[in-house]
Amino acid sequence: MFGHSAQQCSQLVHHGNQASANISFSKALVAENSVTWFPDTGVNQYVTSDIAGMTHAEPHLSNDHLHVGDGKRLVISNTTHNILRTPNRLFALSNILHVPQIKKRLLSVQQFCRENCVFF
């Protein structure tokens, strides 16, 4: 992971009482536990096929599906949340959709920025 915290930012931007700084990723975000998340500007929720290590998984009770690029509708089995640990900071990941058929963990850039007071 490349980037820096808001306190170290030479171009610090204040949003109300919150400070934010740029964060950039080479190709994927790899947490300390070697879990890889792929930033995606086209999704509005975090998505994973693996809920091992996630906290507070709850069954997804609605009939919603995840619609993917090839037109398929994938079943959402659970919702969960977790903390993404990097060498410099902890990041919140809430409302993660557990979709067993998805191939990669997708990190919603929009949701990630909003929850963690950062921007790409």
Express each pLDDT in 45-68 by its tens digit: 999 999 887 878 899 999 999 998
- The confidence score (pLDDT) of residue 107 equals 93
DSSP conformational letter for 51: -
- The confidence score (pLDDT) of residue 85 equals 82
Counting the structural domains of the chain, the total is: 1
Answer with the residue of higher pLDDT: 106 or 12. Answer: 106
Sign of the C-alpha dihedral, residues 98, 30, 27, 24? positive
Q: Give phi and psi for 40, each to the nearest 5.
A: -140, 120
- Is 53 inside any structural domain? yes
- The confidence score (pLDDT) of residue 3 equals 44
Q: In which domain, by residue range, is 75 found?
A: 29-116
- The confidence score (pLDDT) of residue 33 equals 60
> In the chain, what's the furthest Cα-to-Cα distance?
47
Whole-angstrom distance, CA of residue 120 vs CA of residue 93: 16
- Is 111 inside any structural domain? yes
Looking at residue 35, which CATH number applies to its domain?
2.40.70
- Is 98 inside any structural domain? yes
**pLDDT tens string 83-118:** 888 878 889 999 999 999 999 999 999 999 999 988
- Is 39 inside any structural domain? yes
Please enumerate in sequence order all residues whose Cβ is within 8 A of that of 107, keeping only pairs 6 or more positions apart, or say none.
29, 37, 38, 39, 40, 46, 93
Burial class (CB in 10 A: 0-12, 13-18, 19+), 9: middle
- The confidence score (pLDDT) of residue 113 equals 92
pTM above 0.85, yes or no: no
- The confidence score (pLDDT) of residue 55 equals 78
